[in-house]
Structure 1
């Protein structure tokens, strides 16, 4: 019975997702890109033909599943959707190798932003729009979108959202998870529309404004220009992207409360204050390092803000070649690659709150040396934190660093130098897409062997799902629940 429910939900998820291909399909017609009609139509119909009868025949049957079922559902949903999303790239012929098409699709949906395309400016517009859409759909979460659209998933829907969303603790805005999902997606839409208007006002055409908004609000990084945001050479565009990258890296639940006028929730939130502190310190250090070689202090501060936002929020846009920056500035960016954005945001990485918890616990351990009989606890949001949160964070960070090291070793086996291998591992697991060395601005991953791209694709999905959802399958206890 559990297998039937899981198969049914997977089909429904794929069905909802396949309908999103209607938009690039329509653009292919509008732009006269007739050869792109079949690459979008074929996968969409291949999914809808078996899904529609299942949806109609089982529409009145309730869906119930446990937390362990939710992990399985979310992981396989992401894998299948990434595979389905690769089909238009492959059938179009613009990415002729299947491994490359899958890598590009996974990079898009996980909002990583690493690419195998050497020249995006010659790509058809409908395919570029699909590429940007994969960011936007993956940013807030494909499963969260489905939960918002299909009330029938409201029963047990929190198990799906819990397995997909970011951060050590999951928080709902309203008692009903479907209402929470709708509110979060509405906020997501508002931010996307607002940024699109501002970018359009700054000189971008509507296509560029929308696609870059998709990439910014999702903390993705795919651009329709080879030189990313640097191609526009516009302080206005860089400023708008900076603001919205920082908003995308902030907790969306807190953003909603901010719009409600609940400012005290922001002021009392430990992660929000730490997020602001990391930004200000990083910008200050980078700006001081850049001022001697910049045209003006204002330019140095602008570039420092942009790249701090880009790396910290794991967006991966580039407004300059930071490989040419002074070592101190590069060192700050490398440090930011380990942090990531806030929990409950579209950003990847370890997350600010986890680093904050570890920092507070390190302080407590030092106090324990001075006062062996003392009892010390961490405080978050002016409340005493639970010990199980500390244990969970410690386990997560250990697993995170272990995966980075293993992935770096696998990349280095392809002949990549160890520093670049470490950067590639960091930017794929953290869904950053932009690093240092060979993984810096303009990096193309087309030259990596197929087995490395396959491993990195799995690493990107694991990073997007916060590791536990992907690695729980390696637990013997998990499979015992299934009687295996």
Structure 2
């Protein structure tokens, strides 16, 4: 098992999640809400992600069990850190509930411990819906779309991430395939947001509904 490469990729994934938290942070600040529940997880992700991403790997080769290990650990770590905004803002009764809500988002399950999610603050509601959007195409697919990883060995990560017995590519490089898929995904999201705005929704509600869809 290529432990160094696994740690390197996990570090990059944590840094990506720190960047993802910037968007709900801006929303929270725009609505005059506390920034601390987002800033603390972002700082923790950066402090953990940078040392891991700087670990030099003697070989960039990844194989099936490496892909399984990366996907399993990435889901756990992203969900643990992603639960912190809910917990620190006291939006959820406990950390376990916060963790459940985050896992539900990244897996696009849609289940919630809340009877009325609209009672969440704007920033937390945006983060909850944004986890659905990120998880919609697959968290690891998102990472492969924006980060160079393993020189053609990403297929083992994708096989472990994507449901179904067959995984295919649109073009020769898997990273380019991920970029094309996310380009389509982003375009569809933008189109839906525009249509919802034309239907009379506010910009915030249009984004939340588009992310959920």
Matched, 1:102 2:99: yes
Q: Output aligned runs, 1:35-54, within 5 Å.
A: 37-54=35-52
| Partner of residue 2, structure 1 | 2
Distance, in Å, in 2 between the alignment partners of 1:103 and 1:89 is: 11
Q: Which runs of 4+ in 1 moved over 4 A?
A: none
1:63 positional shift:
2.2
TM (norm. structure 1) is 0.42
Q: Which residue of 1 aligns with 2:139?
A: 142
1:374-413 equivalences in 2 (<5 Å):
none
Q: 1:54 to 1:69 in 2, by over 3 A?
A: closer
Post-superposition offset of 1:49? 1.8
Structure with more contact order per residue of length (Cα contacts < 8 Å, sep ≥ 6): 2
Aligned: 1:16 with 2:16: yes
Question: 1:207 aligns to what SS in structure 2?
Answer: helix
Map residues 351-430 of structure 1 onto 2, 5 A cutoff: none
Aligned counterparts of 2:87 and 2:200: Cα–Cα separation in 1? 33
Equivalence map 1:77-88=2 (5 Å): 77-88=74-85
**Deviations, residues 209-238 of structure 1 (Å, cap 9, x unaligned):** 11111111xxxxxxxxxxxxxxxxxxxxxx
Alignment partners' CA distance in 2, 1:154 and 1:193: 31
Contact 2:102 2:131 in 1 (8 A): yes
- Equivalence map 1:334-353=2 (5 Å): none
Superposition map of 1:467-478 within 5 A: none
- The count of residues paired between Structure 1 and Structure 2 equals 213
Q: Unaligned 5+ residue runs, structure 1?
A: 217-484
SS of 2:150's equivalent in the other structure is: helix
Does residue 1:119 correspond to 2:116, yes or no?
Answer: yes
- For 1:175-254, what aligned pairs fall within 5 Å after superposition? 175-216=172-213
The Cα of 1:56 is off from its aligned counterpart by 4.7
How far apart are residue 62 of structure 1 and its match?
Answer: 5.2
The answer to whether the Cα contact below 8 Å between 2:71 and 2:157 also exists between their aligned partners in 1 is: yes
Mean CA deviation greater in 183-192 or 161-170: 161-170
Q: Which residue of 2 aligns with 1:291?
A: none
How far 1:57 sits from its partner (Å)?
6.1
Contact 2:11 2:50 in 1 (8 A): no
8 A contact 1:63–1:155 mirrored in 2: no
- Note if contact 2:142-2:178 (Cα within 8 Å) is conserved in structure 1: yes
- Normalised to the residue count of structure 2, the TM-score between the two structures is 0.94
> 2:162 matched to 1:160?
no
State how far apart, in whole Å, the 1-side matches of 2:164 and 2:48 are: 35
Shift of 1:53: 4.2
The structural deviation recorded for 1:5 is: 2.2
Question: Helix, strand or coil: the match of 2:5?
Answer: helix
CA distance in structure 2 between the partners assigned to 1:51 and 1:137 by the alignment: 19
- 3-state secondary structure, aligned to 2:67: helix
Shift of 1:55: 3.2
Deviations 1:340-388 (A, max 9, x none): xxxxxxxxxxxxxxxxxxxxxxxxxxxxxxxxxxxxxxxxxxxxxxxxx
CA distance in 2, matches of 1:28, 1:62: 42
